[in-house]
Amino acid sequence: MLLDVINNALPKTTTITNGITVVKDWFTPLLIAGIIIFAGIVIQRVIIIYIKRFAKKTHWKGGSVLVSSLRGMIVLISILFAVYYGAAHAPIDDETVLLEHRLHIILVVFIITFVIARVLTGLLKAYSHREESSKGSLSLFKSIINIIVYSLGLLVMLQSFGVSITPILTALGVGGLAVALALQDTLSNLFAGIQITLTRTIKPGDYIHLTTGEEGTVLDITWRSTTLLTQSDNMTVIPNSKLATTIITNYSLPKRNLSISVPVSISYNSDLEKVERVTLEIGEALMKENGIEALPVFRYKEFGTSSINFNLSMDIHEFSQQYPLRHEFIKRLYKRFKEEAIEIPFPTTSVYLKKEN
């Protein structure tokens, strides 16, 4: 009976002993892994605080980009290193350690590639706009940056696994030549888009007019085409190669505000001083209502065949503002001229007949 009790107790003692051994084997790796993760949290917090202070002090636009790109990434990398260290010193078989090592390399390279791509595209967005009111994005360069960065990241992954990338680069070179010959139009649009973007002649938010008749606000410049938003709220898509070879008038450069001139004709019987005063009153009131601080400019232009012609120049904030402003000015001026008995003559021609004896 006593022997049975002892025999029943022995497995339990062995189980307890094995459990203590397992805890001892895992305690040090888990402890160091926890320290690495905690250090990653602290390092990320310190780096973000320093970047925020530096950006605020120097008014650096890239500060917010770095903060948003690094937030969470440093902690994630520290977790990966903690798992890597723990697996390397934990009591697990070599095959599992090798598999974890390869997975660790893939994840670390991918995270670093992702952060670099996000930082570069964020800096591009922060520095590509001349004005804060411009909301368009440069999709062309964002796509090029992502393709280049992720391609390099993939090559680094392959190299880390012992895969020779020289044959791959050679194949890409030969294949690239064939692709270039087959996709001439596509590549023409691509390089035209790069040229347009680098020269900064137009950008998203600009109002442009083409000699072919298209005009509107630039919404986006992609690898293939440029999209315009017309006055009728329709979209016009223009291939970049066509845009690069046509004459463009950019009404947003060198500055967005510009002046428009409205031609008006009055009768020869009109009081010129009164006409000038009434016209300036209407123009000044209309510009003030639209938030324009400048004053209109009145200038008589010429003696016409049946009228005296003059122009009223008014400043506007942007090109598209001229249409409602011109519309309202003509309405008010016509009404006021009728009230003041100022005649706007019809085009007439006087013919004198001379009778010969």
Give residue-wise pLDDT tens across range 319-342: 778 888 899 999 999 999 999 888
Q: What pLDDT does 183 receive?
A: 57
pLDDT band for position 200 (cuts 50, 70, 90) = confident
Q: Please report whether residue 220 resides in a domain.
A: yes
269 shares its domain with 299 = yes
19 shares its domain with 73 = yes
Q: Which domain holds residue 122?
A: 15-127
Q: What percent of the chain has pLDDT over 70?
A: 74
Domain count, the chain: 3
Question: What is the CATH classification number for the domain harbouring 190?
Answer: 2.30.30.60
**Contact between 140 and 193 (Cβ < 8 Å):** yes
Q: What pLDDT does 303 receive?
A: 92
**Contact between 122 and 204 (Cβ < 8 Å):** no
Q: Flag the least confident range among 39-53, 104-118, 184-198, 304-318.
A: 184-198
| 119 or 23: which leads in pLDDT | 119
Question: What is the CATH classification number for the domain harbouring 286?
Answer: 3.30.70.100
The stretches of the chain forming alpha helices (DSSP H) are: 2-58, 62-70, 73-89, 94-127, 139-160, 166-182, 184-199, 240-244, 272-289, 322-339
Give backbone dihedrals phi and psi of 270, rounded to 5 degrees, phi first.
-75, 155
Which of 226, 216, 228, 152 has its CA nearest to residue 195?
A: 226
210 shares its domain with 289 = no
Q: Is 92 a residue whose pLDDT tops 80?
A: no
**Contact between 321 and 257 (Cβ < 8 Å):** no
Spatial neighbors of 233 by CB under 8 A, at least 6 apart, are: none
Instruction: From 252, 285, 306, give the residue that closes a domain.
Output: 252
Which of 150, 151, 248, 241 has its CA nearest to residue 194?
A: 241
The pTM of this model reads 0.48
- Rounded to an integer, what distance in angstroms lies between the CA atom of residue 9 and that of residue 317? 92
Q: Please report whether residue 7 resides in a domain.
A: no
25 shares its domain with 117 = yes
Q: Please report whether residue 301 resides in a domain.
A: yes
Q: What pLDDT does 76 receive?
A: 78
Q: Please report whether residue 162 resides in a domain.
A: yes
Q: Is 287 a residue whose pLDDT tops 60?
A: yes
Spatial neighbors of 203 by CB under 8 A, at least 6 apart, are: 128, 129, 130, 134, 136, 138, 197, 218, 221
223 shares its domain with 262 = no
Q: What pLDDT does 311 receive?
A: 93
Q: Please report whether residue 10 resides in a domain.
A: no
Q: Which amino acid is at 57?
A: K
Q: Flag the least confident range among 135-139, 147-151, 289-293, 300-304.
A: 135-139
| 238 or 52: which leads in pLDDT | 238
Q: What pLDDT does 90 receive?
A: 63
User: What does DSSP say about strands 297-303 and 308-316: parallel, antiparallel, or unpaired?
Assistant: antiparallel
111 shares its domain with 156 = no
Q: Please report whether residue 171 resides in a domain.
A: yes
100 shares its domain with 114 = yes
Spatial neighbors of 322 by CB under 8 A, at least 6 apart, are: 260, 316
288 shares its domain with 273 = yes
Which of 319, 323, 314, 273 has its CA nearest to residue 296?
A: 314
Q: Please report whether residue 25 resides in a domain.
A: yes
**Contact between 285 and 340 (Cβ < 8 Å):** no
What 120-128 contacts at long range (C-beta under 8 Å, 24+ apart), as own/partner pairs, is 120/145, 120/149, 121/145, 121/146, 122/62, 122/65, 122/66, 122/68, 122/69, 123/62, 123/65, 125/65, 126/61, 126/62, 126/64, 126/65, 127/61, 127/62, 128/203
- DSSP, collapsed to helix, strand or coil, labels residue 228 as strand
137 shares its domain with 237 = yes
Q: Flag the least confident range among 14-23, 51-60, 267-276, 337-346.
A: 14-23
Instruction: From 98, 127, 156, give the residue that closes a domain.
Output: 127
Instruction: From 88, 106, 127, give the residue that closes a domain.
Output: 127
**Contact between 228 and 219 (Cβ < 8 Å):** yes
Q: Please report whether residue 346 resides in a domain.
A: no
146 shares its domain with 190 = yes
123 shares its domain with 155 = no
Q: What percent of the chain has pLDDT over 90?
A: 13
145 shares its domain with 74 = no
